[in-house]
Amino acid sequence: MGGKRNRKIGYRQIFLIICTAFWVFYPFIARVLVNKVSETEQQFFSTSEGYVIDILLYCKELALIGFIIFAFVYFLGERIFPDHPIKIDPNRLKRLKYPFIFIGGYALFSILSFIFSDYKDTALFGVNSEYEGFLVILGYVGLFLFALFFMKKEPNEDIGLRATDILKYGIIILCLIIGILSIIEVFWKPILEFEFMQDLISSEKTREIAHSLKNENFIGQISLTFNNPGFLGGFCALFIPVNFSISLEAKKIWRILAVIGTGMMGLSIFWSSSNVAIISLAISMPVLILCVIKKERKNKKPDFKSLLKSFSVTLGIAVFLIVLSKVLPTYSSRVRPEGGSSTSVSGQEVFRLKKAEIKNGELYLYSENDTLLCVSVDQDLLHKCYLDDVENNFSECLVFSDGKNEIQERTPAVVKATNIREAVNGFKFTDERYSAITIATDNLLLIMDLGYTGTVEFAITEKGIKAFGQKSNLLDEIPQPAVTGLESFYKFGTGRGYIWVQSLPVLKDSLLIGGGNGTFAFRFRQNEMVGLLNTHGSFKYVVDRPHNWYLQIACSDGVPALIFVLALFIWYLIRFIKRLGFRNKNDIEKTKTIISIEHFEIGLFAGLIGFMLCGFINDSCITVNPWFWILLGTAVAFF
């Protein structure tokens, strides 16, 4: 990159420049769209007459599918072009047979999972909260193959503009853009709150929706156009090592730009507040440095000075920006944060549940210290409440007991407001056993504040107490956990442990073929009150994905699909380690190979490791994972 050879630009270089420009722009694709969702999705997700609003995901899915079609047409064209048809090298296919087998196996089981899915209407494009359906998985396979074919070393590459050089320029530009936008979002405001951006991503019909965009869910974090701070963190864990490695071999201005971009992304990953991304980076960067040192030690003139200089400047820029963000006013410091991630309100006592169930219309709430609160409906008093047009106080028809004796003594209290309703006047019991509980009624709605961040609601009916399910459907019973005995793992990974444990039945059903991409929410037991309250502080959640990339693959496409993906990853890691020469130190051929390895290869290795580690906490996401598959294909193409 940046050498003196003649930079010949042909039709393939033009094609790759177009492709790279597209992928530099891809993470920022946004469009306000109102989509009609399937009837199955309407049963699980809040919709307005079957419609949902999407800004960052569906448009990226369409862009990805469009790119794959474009690249495939070009690939065919290259091989049937009448003057200079390019043939596939059979020796290279043989040398890389295992990656082809592994990625083919992944694609095959994805196809089978879609064919046999009970939710084909959703599995094709994916559920509205992620838009990562069957077509996107085939798109990921296509991106891997695209990089494998087009990022390989050509025989006449010494006199032409290398494909990997084009990619490196794109990565430097992309990282600079991410860094600049992160600075804007940290110190000014989210980029999607700028009026000109809102006008840019909307049509006249959706302009009002666009102008109402607010960063209400991630105050104190940044997410840019990645849909979630965790996905931005994963992107940084992937690209920081890659961009840093480019700075070690780039020339002149590109080296300076790569260092600046990498340093600014230090601010990005810090303000994403993604712990797993930061931990992954703390592992991948030392790996990168050790690999570079090993490479340089085999050179006749090792260049450790460049490594030290680039690392020092990069770290200095990152530290400077992070310290600056702690000293100067930021967007989050000007906006008062609301709520929290803890399961209880700070300083408030909690009636922490061990079990909750409804039997024959009676509600039974058991605390962890075995205190029972039983709630039933006095039907005679309920009928009187119906007739009382003035008071209409349905709390009078409720009977509270500890399972043996009725609890009657009450004092006035207020049930806290939530993001969907205002505070409600209610009462507390004078009995100290229930001091953490505040109760109110709103017509036939029973509202209970148990001390968690969210309240719990039930319906008062002529058949007793009923729970609420999806779409506010009334349930005669409270759904119970699908798996018991592993409650101690619930809080791991900010509540991910709960999802992983309760995903085991879904995984069991996916031992051969998964249920299809985007169908996890339909197969997971929803509305399990106790587990959700104790891990998230609220049970008003639809668990739509497992928050673990590998578990996600297994549940969506089957355990064999996961085995193929892991086999591909492990194959690549082992091949790179052998290529770098960590085995058979006295092998002359391996020593020659070490010298031929580029810093870029080492950066890809470190970045891919970091992203694979993030996969244990993060799901696959259409905002980031396409780049992972491109870089993985590029890394394999070096072999």
Query: Which DSSP string corresponds to 20-56?
Result: HHHHHHGGG----EEEE--HHHHTTS--BTTEEEESS
pLDDT in tens, 8-32: 677 888 999 999 999 999 999 999 9
pLDDT average, residue stretch 270-290: 96
pLDDT at residue 535 is higher than 80 = yes
**Stretch among 267-281, 432-446, 465-479, 574-588 having the lowest mean pLDDT:** 574-588
Q: CA 178 to CA 183: how far, in whole Å?
A: 9
The pLDDT-based confidence of 156 (bands split at 50, 70, 90) is: low
**Stretch among 255-259, 398-402, 586-590 having the lowest mean pLDDT:** 586-590
DSSP class of residue 432 equals G
pLDDT at residue 488 is higher than 70 = yes
CB atoms within 10 A of CB 355: 16
Rounded to the nearest 10 degrees, the angle between the axes of helix 163-187 and helix 252-272 is: 50
**Residue 6, pLDDT score:** 53
**Residue 390, pLDDT score:** 47
Q: Give whichever of 81-95, 218-232, 551-565 has the largest mean pLDDT.
A: 551-565
The pLDDT mean for the chain works out to: 90
pLDDT at residue 589 is higher than 80 = no
pLDDT average, residue stretch 581-602: 63
pLDDT at residue 596 is higher than 60 = yes
The pLDDT-based confidence of 81 (bands split at 50, 70, 90) is: confident
**Residue 347, pLDDT score:** 63
**Residue 82, pLDDT score:** 64
**Stretch among 79-93, 280-294, 458-472, 481-495 having the lowest mean pLDDT:** 79-93
The pLDDT-based confidence of 221 (bands split at 50, 70, 90) is: very high
Exposed e or buried b per residue across 59-95, where buried means at least 16 C-beta atoms within 10 angstroms of its C-beta: bbbbbbbebbeebeebbeebeeeeeeeeeeeeeeeee
pLDDT average, residue stretch 362-390: 86
In what order do the strands lie in the sheet containing 353-359? Answer: 353-359, 362-367, 372-377, 398-401
pLDDT in tens, 312-353: 999 999 999 999 999 999 998 887 544 444 676 656 799 999
Instruction: Provide, rounded to the nearest whole percent, the portion of the chain with pLDDT above 90.
Output: 71
Domains of the chain by residue range: 11-337+547-637, 353-451
**Residue 422, pLDDT score:** 86
CB atoms within 10 A of CB 479: 18
Q: Which residues have CB under 8 Å from 65's CB, separation 6+?
A: 135, 136, 139
The pLDDT-based confidence of 588 (bands split at 50, 70, 90) is: very low
More confident residue, 395 or 594: 395
**Stretch among 82-86, 91-95, 220-224, 547-551 having the lowest mean pLDDT:** 82-86
pLDDT at residue 131 is higher than 80 = yes
**Residue 301, pLDDT score:** 72
CB 293 within 8 A of CB 304: yes
**Residue 134, pLDDT score:** 96
The pTM assigned to this predicted structure is 0.92
Site of tokens 């994905």: 545
Reported for 364-373, long-range contacts at CB under 8 A and 24+ positions apart, including other chains, are 364/403, 365/450, 371/402, 371/433, 371/434, 372/402, 372/403, 373/400, 373/401, 373/402, 373/407, 373/434, 373/437
Torsion of CA 486, 487, 492, 494, to 10 degrees: 140
Q: CA 586 to CA 450: how far, in whole Å?
A: 68
pLDDT in tens, 425-466: 999 999 999 999 999 998 899 999 999 988 999 999 999 999
**Residue 284, pLDDT score:** 97
Helix (H, G, I), strand (E, B) or coil at 496: helix
pLDDT average, residue stretch 77-94: 79
pLDDT average, residue stretch 53-77: 95
Q: What is the bridge-based pairing of β-strands 464-468 and 474-475?
A: antiparallel
Instruction: Provide, rounded to the nearest whole percent, the portion of the chain with pLDDT above 70.
Output: 92
**Stretch among 69-83, 156-170, 569-583 having the lowest mean pLDDT:** 156-170
Q: CA 352 to CA 350: how far, in whole Å?
A: 5
**Residue 200, pLDDT score:** 96
pLDDT in tens, 506-525: 999 999 999 999 999 999 99
CB 526 within 8 A of CB 129: no
**Residue 2, pLDDT score:** 52
Helix (H, G, I), strand (E, B) or coil at 315: helix
pLDDT in tens, 597-638: 889 999 999 999 999 999 999 999 999 999 999 999 999 999
The pLDDT-based confidence of 7 (bands split at 50, 70, 90) is: low
pLDDT at residue 3 is higher than 70 = no
